Structure 1
Amino acid sequence: MTVRTSHVVPFQDVTELLAATGARVRNSVPLAGLTTLRVGGPATVADCESVEALVATVRTLDAAGIPVLLLAGGSNLLISDAGFGGVVVRIATRGIEFSEAGVTAEAGAAWDEVVAASVASGFGGLECLSGIPGSAGATPVQNVGAYGVEVAQLLRRVRLLDRKSGEIRWATPDELGFGYRTSVLKHSDRSVVLAVEFALRPDGRSAPLNYRELAAALDAAEGETRPAGQVREAVLRLRAGKGMVLDAEDHDTWSAGSFFTNPVVPTEREAEVRAAIAKYVGDVTVPAYPSVAGVKFSAGWLIERAGFGKGFPGTPAPARLSTKHTLALTNRGAATAEDMLALARTVRDGVAERFGIRLEPEPVIVGSTL
C-alpha cells in the first residue's frame, strides 16, 4: 500500500483548525524518530492522547479535506525523505482493560505491553505474538501473526470510526475479510481503529503450539500447550536471535520487521516455480505450505537462495539485510528512505528474475513507490 499527498498544509492553519479537538499540534517533526526504520522527512503532527481527541481530530481534518496519515507505533511504515504534506495524526491512546473473558486495548497501546500485561494477569492466548513492535490498533489491520498464531484467531471485535459516515461502532471478525497478513482495513483508509478486544484463555495456558521451531525450543510436541509465561519467554528469545526485538543499540532491529510477505503462488504455477528453483539452486527441499489461494513459499528462503545473504550488500552500505535474518531490511544508522527502497528493489527484482516470483512489501510506503 502507498500513501501520497501532493501539497503541504500551512502549520498555522492546522493549529487553528484543531484548536478545539484536544490534540497537541507540532510543526516540522522529523518522522524518522517515530518509526522503527528511522527514516522519513518532516511533517505536522497532531498527538491524540484520548479517543475523544483522536475522533475529533480525524473528523475535523477530513471535513477540511486535509490529507491524514495515521501513525501509532510506526513499525510498519516506510516514509519518504520528503516527509508528509498533510497532517500525521499520532494515535497515543494507551488504555488496557481486562475482564473475565479477555482484554480490550485502545489503539495506541504498545502491542507487546498488551501481551505482557495479559500474561502477567494470568491469561493465555497472545504469548506467541510477544515481541512484535507496533500498536494494538495495527494488529487487525495487518492480521499480525507469528509462531503459528494470528490475530484473526483471537480477535473478538474492533471498535471503528467510519470516516465517511462519522459512525463509531464495534465490528466483528467476519466483517474484516482476514487473510494472510491482510484485512479489509489494510486496503482502505475509510476506517480508523479505536480499540481492539481479544478473547483469552483464563487458565493461563498458551495457545496450542503449532509452530515446529517454537515447540522444539520448549521441548514440546506440536499441539501441546505450556504456561503462557514460559512460551512468551521462549518467543522473545527466538525473536531476539533474529534481530526482531527492538534494541536501540542493535542496528539489526532498525527495521520494519519482515519486509516482504511470504508469496502465495497459484496451484497452476507451482510446477513452473519449482522448476525455476531447481534450475538455479539444484535439487533441494523447498519450504512450501498449502494455502487457500495456492502454495505459500518462504520469502526469506527465496531471498537467500537468490544470492542475497545476511548482511547483503555488506559494508559500508547504509541499508543492508539484517545480519541475523534475511527477511528484514535494516537501517545501519544513516540510511535514507531512498536507500531502503533501493535495497528492496534489488532484492525483489533479483528474486523475480531467478524464480519468477514477485515479492510484495509488508510495510505501508508513504510518499514514494517500490
Structure 2
Amino acid sequence: MFGTLPCELVRVAKDVAAEYGAELDVDAPMSRLTTLRVGGPAHAMLTCRSTDTLVSVVRALDAADVPLLILGGGSNLLVDDAGVDAVVVRVANDTIRFDGSVVAAEAGAVWDEVVARSVAAGLGGLECLSGIPGSAGATPVQNVGAYGVEVSSLLRRVQLLDRASGEVRWALPDELGLGYRTSTLKHTDTAVVLAVEFDATEDGLSAPLRYRELAAALGAEEGERQPAAQVRETVLRLRAGKGMVLDDTDHDTWSAGSFFTNPVVPDERLPEVLAAISARVGDAPVPRFPADGGTKLSAGWLIERAGFEKGHPGPGSAARLSTKHTLALTNRGSAVAGDVLALAREVRAGVQDVFGVRLEPEPVTVGCAV
C-alpha cells in the first residue's frame, strides 16, 4: 500500500475532477468494479469518459506525485480487502470506429462490443475473441487470446500515454514484447493505453480455425475459414458452457477467467516434470504444445491431476473452483479477496508439490500477492 492519507487523495482528486471534467466517487467499493466482485474501497475514483480527459487527469496526478491505479473493465484484477490507497482512474472512453478493414476502439470500449460490432460490419478476424470480458485497452496488455487466436496476430498499433514524458504516441506491435498472455505493458505503470487498432478482413470470414474443439463444433477442418458470425455464435456457446461469459445469475462467471496461465516448462526440466506426471497418472497422454523457451502444459489439466476437482473445496465455501472447469476461481456470492487468495495458494501449492510445476496467476493483484 502507498501510505498516502485518504483525505489528501480525495482533496487532490476533487481538484483534478473539477479542472478536467472527470467524475469523482469517494470510497468507491472495488467489489462493484471487478468481475471477481471482491476488493475494498478506493478512497477516490475519477471516471474519464473522453481520451482528452483521461490524458489530462493522468498528467495532473503524476505531476502532483499522487499514486494512481488505472482501471479498465476490472476483469483481470484482484484487489486486496483493505482497498486501494491511491486514486483510481477509471478508463471510460468508449468510441468504436471502422475504416475499411481497420477496427479502431478507444481503451474504455467493452471488448465484446468491439468484436460484435466488427462482425456485424462484415469484418472477420476478431470472432474467436468473442465473450472475453473487459475493455479494449486491456487486450494488448495481456495479449488476450482464445480458441487459437491472439491479439498479437491482429494488432495494428496502440496509442499510449507515456507517463514519464507526458507524450501521446502510437506504438507498433513489435515495440510491445507481445508473448503468451504478456507484453511490456503488463506489470508496469510506465504507460497508459488510450486506444487500439486491429487489422481485420473484409470478406466476412473468420481467421483460420486453429483450435480443435472449435473446428469440431463447427463441423469444419482445422485451418478452414468459416463465416465470422457463425464462429462468434459458436465461441459464445462454448464459453458459456464453461462459465466464461459474464452472467449475474451464474456464480461460475464471478471470476477473473482463467486464474493461472499455462506453464511453459524449460526443455531441460521437461523430462523431470513428465516423470512426475507419469508417476501420478500413468501413461495417459499429456497435453503439451511447443512454446518459446520450452513446452507449454495445460494448467487446468495439471490442476485436475493434482487432485483438485471442479467445485473444490465444495458447497458452502465462499470461494470455489468453477463447477464447469478447474482453471477459474470463483466467488460464490460472499467471498472476499482473502478467500480467493487462500484458494489460489492452495491450488498452486498442490500442483507444485505433485508435479514440480509452479503456476503463475494471470490477474493483476493490487495490495496482495498469491
Scaled by the length of structure 2, the TM-score of the pair is: 0.98
Give secondary structure in 2 for the equivalent of 1:85: strand
Give secondary structure in 1 for the equivalent of 2:6: coil
Q: Do the aligned residues in 1 keep the contact of 2:16 with 2:22 (CA within 8 Å)?
A: no
**Which whole-Å CA distance do the structure 1 matches of 2:169 and 2:124 have between them?**
27
Q: CA deviation at 1:5?
A: 2.5
**Which whole-Å CA distance do the structure 2 matches of 1:5 and 1:77 have between them?**
18
**Which whole-Å CA distance do the structure 1 matches of 2:238 and 2:53 have between them?**
38
Q: Does 1:20 align with 2:22?
A: no
Q: Do the aligned residues in 2 keep the contact of 1:67 with 1:86 (CA within 8 Å)?
A: yes
One-letter identity of the residue aligned with 2:209: L
**Which whole-Å CA distance do the structure 1 matches of 2:20 and 2:352 have between them?**
48
What is the match of residue 6 of structure 1? Answer: 3
Q: Does 1:201 align with 2:201?
A: yes
Give secondary structure in 1 for the equivalent of 2:229: helix
Q: Do the aligned residues in 2 keep the contact of 1:264 with 1:296 (CA within 8 Å)?
A: yes
What is the match of residue 148 of structure 1? Answer: 148
One-letter identity of the residue aligned with 1:301: W
**Which whole-Å CA distance do the structure 2 matches of 1:214 and 1:332 have between them?**
29
Q: CA deviation at 1:17?
A: 3.7
Q: CA deviation at 1:72?
A: 1.3
For these two proteins, the number of residue pairs brought into alignment is: 367
Q: Do the aligned residues in 1 keep the contact of 2:47 with 2:91 (CA within 8 Å)?
A: yes
Percent identity, aligned pairs only?
67
What is the match of residue 224 of structure 2? Answer: 224
Q: Do the aligned residues in 1 keep the contact of 2:69 with 2:86 (CA within 8 Å)?
A: yes
One-letter identity of the residue aligned with 1:188: T
Q: CA deviation at 1:284?
A: 1.0
One-letter identity of the residue aligned with 2:26: N
Of 268-277 and 19-28, the range deviating more from structure 2: 19-28
Q: Do the aligned residues in 2 keep the contact of 1:8 with 1:86 (CA within 8 Å)?
A: no
What is the match of residue 40 of structure 2? Answer: 41
One-letter identity of the residue aligned with 2:12: D
Report matched runs for 1:284-295 at 5 Å.
284-295=284-295
**Which whole-Å CA distance do the structure 2 matches of 1:308 and 1:34 have between them?**
29
Give secondary structure in 2 for the equivalent of 1:19: helix
One-letter identity of the residue aligned with 1:263: P
**Which whole-Å CA distance do the structure 1 matches of 2:13 and 2:236 have between them?**
41
What is the match of residue 211 of structure 1? Answer: 211
What is the match of residue 87 of structure 1? Answer: 87
String of CA shifts for 1:181-211, please: whole Å, max 9, x gaps.
0000003210100000000010000000000
**Which whole-Å CA distance do the structure 2 matches of 1:266 and 1:220 have between them?**
34
One-letter identity of the residue aligned with 1:103: V
Q: Do the aligned residues in 2 keep the contact of 1:18 with 1:60 (CA within 8 Å)?
A: no
Deviating runs (4+, > 3 A) in structure 1? none
Q: Does 1:353 align with 2:353?
A: yes
**Which whole-Å CA distance do the structure 1 matches of 2:39 and 2:262 have between them?**
26
**Which whole-Å CA distance do the structure 2 matches of 1:66 and 1:252 have between them?**
37
Q: Does 1:69 align with 2:66?
A: no
**Which whole-Å CA distance do the structure 1 matches of 2:111 and 2:268 have between them?**
39
String of CA shifts for 1:112-133, please: whole Å, max 9, x gaps.
0000000000000000000000
Report matched runs for 1:1-370 at 5 Å.
4-10=1-7, 11-43=10-42, 44-370=44-370
Give secondary structure in 1 for the equivalent of 2:100: coil
Q: CA deviation at 1:6?
A: 2.8
**Which whole-Å CA distance do the structure 2 matches of 1:13 and 1:65 have between them?**
10
String of CA shifts for 1:268-312, please: whole Å, max 9, x gaps.
100000001111222211101011110000000000000111000
String of CA shifts for 1:236-264, please: whole Å, max 9, x gaps.
00000000000000000000000000000
Q: Do the aligned residues in 1 keep the contact of 2:13 with 2:46 (CA within 8 Å)?
A: no
Scaled by the length of structure 1, the TM-score of the pair is: 0.98
Q: CA deviation at 1:235?
A: 0.2
Q: CA deviation at 1:70?
A: 0.6
Q: Do the aligned residues in 2 keep the contact of 1:127 with 1:232 (CA within 8 Å)?
A: yes
Q: Do the aligned residues in 2 keep the contact of 1:71 with 1:91 (CA within 8 Å)?
A: yes
Q: Do the aligned residues in 2 keep the contact of 1:25 with 1:47 (CA within 8 Å)?
A: yes
**Which whole-Å CA distance do the structure 1 matches of 2:21 and 2:304 have between them?**
49
Q: Do the aligned residues in 2 keep the contact of 1:9 with 1:66 (CA within 8 Å)?
A: no
RMSD over equivalenced CA pairs, Å: 0.8
**Which whole-Å CA distance do the structure 2 matches of 1:8 and 1:151 have between them?**
39
String of CA shifts for 1:75-101, please: whole Å, max 9, x gaps.
000001111011000001110000112
One-letter identity of the residue aligned with 1:50: S
Give secondary structure in 2 for the equivalent of 1:86: strand
One-letter identity of the residue aligned with 1:320: R
